[in-house]
């Protein structure tokens, strides 16, 4: 056996040992790429997982590559070493001349001259790619290729045993949201170190609602002079399921206008990219809703300005009922309410309906109710099966949309004949996840509302009108 063969063999037994240990999935994957990189004597290695819907590869574990290189951009699966997606090995002997290298300039700056990529396969499907990056221009030997394929297989074993699921198209993700498990393979499995605690809070909130996220997923080039990049921008989060980037502004107000400028520039350069700027204040309000963050303890001084009087509400509910009755003529509706805020609206709505309707209720655990770290749970499910029924989900208010998208996924999985949403209030400016709303009573501003079923810490539900909560020293402003 040659020297390299001995080294490679030894490293495989080291890896097998690590797989048997009680390391986390992330630690195991990081260990695999690190040992592989050292044993091959290359510049670095990376394991990327496929986001099949968007056809992007996302770095899950890396070794030896600079942050700058990792943030060059999201790797396009059909453009960068595309043969790998067909289950084949791809070798780039010279990154300077090979069109299959997506970030050629960056590779050269990183002193990567050649690359080998092999597929990571789970149950016959390509779910990602394992790559080794070399400093010198060269072919890779058959033994090296075989070695990498073995390491890719080990990585696949780690992914499978971590509870990750492989979708029909080959995305590694967790099972349907209804399994109520925290995503096992969430974006970069490498340990995330957040720049700011509020970002970590936000990531926890996303975890709770089972929304996949990637922290600082990529950098966009904003300005350049010739070959030299003079300005880059790295959004804080990417939510693959929503295809949405999120940039959070920090405490320093001076930076906000700077970020606004960068986001505008990004939108100009990439009009196809969806990015949402979450201002510090909006973000604090969002967290306060769940009892977290600096605004959570804000004192209130009772009820402020009335937004909708009891008469206005009744008039609008009657109109909604009329529309619904026309749309559902000849069909029997199953009204499904999400407890508890919906109580008043549901009771009024059903009394104005002119078609026959059954009703049922669901209840969910709430982020911040002492179980912030876990995933959202259905604490009361339907008594009536929604299968083959015309389900109309009735909501008091849709805010971020996270609750609703969870409930919709749960209901859809049970095959109703039809499924639509009717909400009395739509706080559209705070929407994070797009949810289809068939019937909307009123669009409302980003203020905390109470009355007609809506509560602030279990107060004010019994008011017959809808009003703002008055915050101490601030007329009619939000309290959380």
How many residues in the shown chain lie near ligand IMP by CB under 6 A? Answer: 14
Closer residue to Mg ion in complex, CB, 304/341: 341
Pull the structure tokens for residue 47: 């394991």
Contact of residue 247 among ligand IMP, Mg ion, none (CB under 5-8 Å per partner type): none
What residues are paired with 83 via a beta bridge? none
How many residues in the shown chain lie near Mg ion by CB under 5 A? Answer: 3
Q: Is residue 341 a contact residue for Mg ion (CB under 5 A)?
A: yes
Segment 434-453, which members bind ligand IMP (CB under 6 A)?
Answer: 448-449
Q: State the Cα–Cα distance between residues 188 and 62, nearest whole angstrom.
A: 10
* Residue 339: CB minimum distance to ligand IMP, A: 9
Candidates 227, 209, 229; CA nearest to 219 is 229
Q: Is residue 337 a contact residue for Mg ion (CB under 5 A)?
A: no
Closer residue to ligand IMP in complex, CB, 233/456: 456
Contact of residue 399 among ligand IMP, Mg ion, none (CB under 5-8 Å per partner type): ligand IMP
Closer residue to ligand IMP in complex, CB, 48/313: 313
- 117, 89 contact by CB (below 8 A): yes
Closer residue to Mg ion in complex, CB, 92/286: 286
Q: Is the peptide bond before 340 cis (omega within 30 degrees of 0)?
A: yes
What residues are paired with 92 via a beta bridge? 115
What residues are paired with 334 via a beta bridge? 358, 391
- 364, 180 contact by CB (below 8 A): no
Q: Is residue 426 a contact residue for ligand IMP (CB under 6 A)?
A: no
Interacting span for Mg ion (CB under 5 A) from 125-133, 156-164, 243-251, 391-399: 391-399
* Residue 404: CB minimum distance to ligand IMP, A: 6
* Residue 403: CB minimum distance to Mg ion, A: 6
* Residue 449: CB minimum distance to ligand IMP, A: 4
* Residue 19: CB minimum distance to Mg ion, A: 44
Closer residue to Mg ion in complex, CB, 245/448: 448
Contact of residue 11 among Mg ion, ligand IMP, none (CB under 5-8 Å per partner type): none
Q: By CB under 5 A, name the one of 338, 346, 422, 440 that touches Mg ion.
A: 338
Segment 394-433, which members bind Mg ion (CB under 5 A)?
Answer: 396
Closer residue to ligand IMP in complex, CB, 205/333: 205
Closer residue to ligand IMP in complex, CB, 69/367: 367
* Site string (284-323) toward ligand IMP, x via CB under 6 A: ----------------------------------------
Q: Which residues are catalytic?
A: 399
Segment 143-182, which members bind ligand IMP (CB under 6 A)?
Answer: none
Segment 390-409, which members bind ligand IMP (CB under 6 A)?
Answer: 396-404
* Residue 73: CB minimum distance to ligand IMP, A: 31
What residues are paired with 43 via a beta bridge? none
Q: Which residue is nearest to Mg ion (CB)?
A: 341
* Residue 403: CB minimum distance to ligand IMP, A: 3
Pull the structure tokens for residue 378: 């259905």
Q: State the Cα–Cα distance between residues 341 and 423, nearest whole angstrom.
A: 11
Candidates 42, 477, 73; CA nearest to 269 is 73
Closer residue to Mg ion in complex, CB, 338/479: 338
* Residue 284: CB minimum distance to Mg ion, A: 21
Q: State the Cα–Cα distance between residues 77 and 54, nearest whole angstrom.
A: 9
The site for ligand IMP (CB under 6 A) is made up of 341, 396-404, 427, 448-449, 454
The site for Mg ion (CB under 5 A) is made up of 338, 341, 396
């Amino acid at each position: 056996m040659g020297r390299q063969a001995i080294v490679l063999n030894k490293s495989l037994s080291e890896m097998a040992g690590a797989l048997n240990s009680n390391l986390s999935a992330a630690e195991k994957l990081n260990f695999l790429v690190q040992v592989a990189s050292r044993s091959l004597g290359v510049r670095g290695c990376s394991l990327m997982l496929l986001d099949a819907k968007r056809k992007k590869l996302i770095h899950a574990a890396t070794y030896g590559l600079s942050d700058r290189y990792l943030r060059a951009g999201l790797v396009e699966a059909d453009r960068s070493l595309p043969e790998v997606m067909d289950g084949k090995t791809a070798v780039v002997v010279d990154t300077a001349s090979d069109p299959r290298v997506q970030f050629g300039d960056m590779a050269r700056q990183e002193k990567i001259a050649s690359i080998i990529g092999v597929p990571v396969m789970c149950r016959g499907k390509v779910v990602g790619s394992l790559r080794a990056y070399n400093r010198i221009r060269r072919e890779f030997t058959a033994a090296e290729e075989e070695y990498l394929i073995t390491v890719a297989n080990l990585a696949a074993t780690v992914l499978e045993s971590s509870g990750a699921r492989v979708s029909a198209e080959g995305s590694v993700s967790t099972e349907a949201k209804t399994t109520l498990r925290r995503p096992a393979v969430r974006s970069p499995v490498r340990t995330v170190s957040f720049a700011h605690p509020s970002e970590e809070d936000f990531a926890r909130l996303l975890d709770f609602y089972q929304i996949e996220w990637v922290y600082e997923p990529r950098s966009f080039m904003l300005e350049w002079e010739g070959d030299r990049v003079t300005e880059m921008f790295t959004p804080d989060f990417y939510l693959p399921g929503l295809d949405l980037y999120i940039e959070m502004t920090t405490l320093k107000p001076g930076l906000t206008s700077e970020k606004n400028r960068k986001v505008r520039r990004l939108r100009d350069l990439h009009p196809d990219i969806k990015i949402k700027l979450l201002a510090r204040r909006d973000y604090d309000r969002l967290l306060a809703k769940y009892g977290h963050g600096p605004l959570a303890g804000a004192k209130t001084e009772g009820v402020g300005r009335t937004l909708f009087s009891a008469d206005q509400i009744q008039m609008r509910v009657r109109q909604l009922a009329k529309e619904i009755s026309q749309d559902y003529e000849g069909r029997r509706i199953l009204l499904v309410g999400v407890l508890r805020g919906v109580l008043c609206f549901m009771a009024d709505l059903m009394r104005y309906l002119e078609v026959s309707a059954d009703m049922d209720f669901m209840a969910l655990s709430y982020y911040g109710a002492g179980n912030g770290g876990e995933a959202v749970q259905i604490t009361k499910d339907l008594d009536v099966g929604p299968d083959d029924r015309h389900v109309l989900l009735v909501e008091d208010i849709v805010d971020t949309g996270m609750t609703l998208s969870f409930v919709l996924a749960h209901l859809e999985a049970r095959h109703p004949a039809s499924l639509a949403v009717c909400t009395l209030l739509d706080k559209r400016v705070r929407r994070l996840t797009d949810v289809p709303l068939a019937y909307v009573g009123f669009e409302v501003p980003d203020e905390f509302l109470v009355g007609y079923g809506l509560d602030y810490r279990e107060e004010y539900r019994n008011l017959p009108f809808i009003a703002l909560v008055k915050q101490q020293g601030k007329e009619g402003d939000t309290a959380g």
